[in-house]
Copies of this chain bind each other. A is one copy, B any other.
Amino acid sequence: MAGSVGIRDVAARAGVSIGTVSNVLNKPDLVSEETLIKVQRVIDELGFVRNDLARQLKMGGGTTFGMIVLNVANPFFAELAHASETAAEQLGCTVVLGSSDQLPRREERYIDLFEEQRVRGMLIAPLDGPTARIRRLRERGTPLVLFSNHRDTGDFCTVAMDGDAGGYLAVSHLVEQGRRHIAFLGGPLHQVQDRWTGAMRACAETSGVKLSHIDTADQTIADGRAAGSGWPDCRRIGPTPSSRRTICLRSG
């Protein structure tokens, strides 16, 4: 009794043809006002819900974007998702989110899922740069944008942080605040190479400043804080200057 109400049931009940119901749904202008409200009423009565699967099948794809982030709990991605949804909304589209949870298998799974569902495009924060699967995805025609801190995103459309500038900015700020021994918390160095380079550069500008790297398995706020709390004379200071300026875009 649920999704079993089809467009043809509505047509029968309203005494019109199947095509007219379709018009009511998609091109209301082409229908006489009388027929329009009659059909609308039947739709409500029967609780008809358009089957978007059939619709998209016919139309060759829908208006949904797929977005894959590393971790929904990460405020960076949360903000990204938020902004994407808002932007999509203005285009009459919607964004569905998948969290890879830093698991390659999950990432692949969502990629496949979204591709099979024929999303209009995908926004991916790749776990490890553009994998073969991601390349194939684009070659097959799915519009793609990558969120990545890696330099090696090839010719993909990318929105990324300028890690070098960010690292420099952050450390400079700390040094200006009078700090002299600075901990750099982050994943494996090769994953945050740019930030580390920038940080070292800032570090070298003032003598007597020491920089130490602490590896944190996950990139959660909580992890960072836990690591920090074990640091001697660790304290919270004011916010860094806005880093918005360190975002860089590349169109591939």
Contacts and interface: CB of A to CB of B under 8 A. Distances in A.
B85 A115 contact: no
B82 A99 contact: yes
B99 A85 contact: yes
Nearest to A112: B49
A72 B75 CA distance: 8
Number of identical monomers bound together in the oligomeric complex: 2
Interface in A131-152: 136, 139-142
Interface string A69-95: 001110101110110011001000011
A81 B85 contact: no
B72 A94 contact: no
A113 B89 CA distance: 13
Contact of A72 (B82, B89, B115, B139): B82
29 contacts: A1-B140, A2-B141, A2-B142, A3-B61, A3-B118, A49-B112, A49-B115, A51-B57, A52-B113, A52-B116, A52-B117, A53-B117, A53-B118, A54-B57, A57-B57, A64-B113, A72-B78, A72-B82, A72-B97, A73-B75, A82-B101, A85-B101, A86-B101, A94-B98, A94-B109, A94-B110, A94-B113, A95-B98, A96-B97
